[in-house]
Copies of this chain bind each other. A is one copy, B any other.
Amino acid sequence: MTVFTLIEQIGTIAFAMSGALTAMNKKLDPFGVFIIAFVTAVGGGTLRDILIGVAPVTWMLDIKYVYLIGIAFFLSIVFRNKFDKLRTSLFLFDTIGLGIFSIIGFEKGIEVNLSPIICIALGTMTACFGGVIRDILCNDIPVIFHKEIYATVCIFGGIIFFALKFFEFANDLIYVITAVVIILIRLLAVRLQWKLPPIVPHN
């Protein structure tokens, strides 16, 4: 699973950089930028661990995450005026992270014997909740609730994942297919500007 681990690390950096970018746009100081980068990267996995009772949470036992986020923080400061040009690469890495973190969440749910629907919720939280905390700390309504198709893609990926499990595909194949499905749909959604329409009451 070396490739998987490598991809997870790239995803962590991408998530951290998206946090750093949001924080810099809010004119936070370096400490604030670092913390927002940190919670964006590890927030989803932390919530997942807390909800299923894994403690100390993952990032506390594996110093790797601190280093990865440190690298992301450094990169964000160095390239802070070039984010426009980096947007495409960042978006790509973020999308890859979305696929990987969802799958990690699905698997953790299976490990503690949760039902598929709850596993899908867990995977979706793992992938998306870091961004939710980022937006709350920056005093915005979380973007995934109104601006873009993001979490919906994870849920869809989860359905594919458990359908493949049901038909007893090999695990590696399930991972690859699920990740590819999540990543492709997300890319398509952004390219074609798919949006869920708001539900507005006509009062």
Contacts and interface: CB of A to CB of B under 8 A. Distances in A.
Interface of A: 21, 23-33, 35-36, 46, 50-53, 55-57, 60-61, 63, 66, 77, 80-81, 83-84, 112, 114-115, 117-118, 121-122, 132, 136-142, 144-146, 151-152, 195-203
A199 B122 CA distance: 34
Copies in the complex: 3
Nearest to A67: B117
Nearest to A20: B199
Given A51-B55, A57-B51, A202-B81, A63 B145 contact: no
Given A23-B199, A51-B56, A51-B57, 18 more contacts: A24-B201, A27-B198, A27-B200, A28-B145, A28-B199, A29-B145, A29-B195, A31-B144, A32-B142, A32-B145, A33-B199, A50-B50, A50-B55, A60-B114, A60-B122, A80-B200, A80-B202, A132-B137
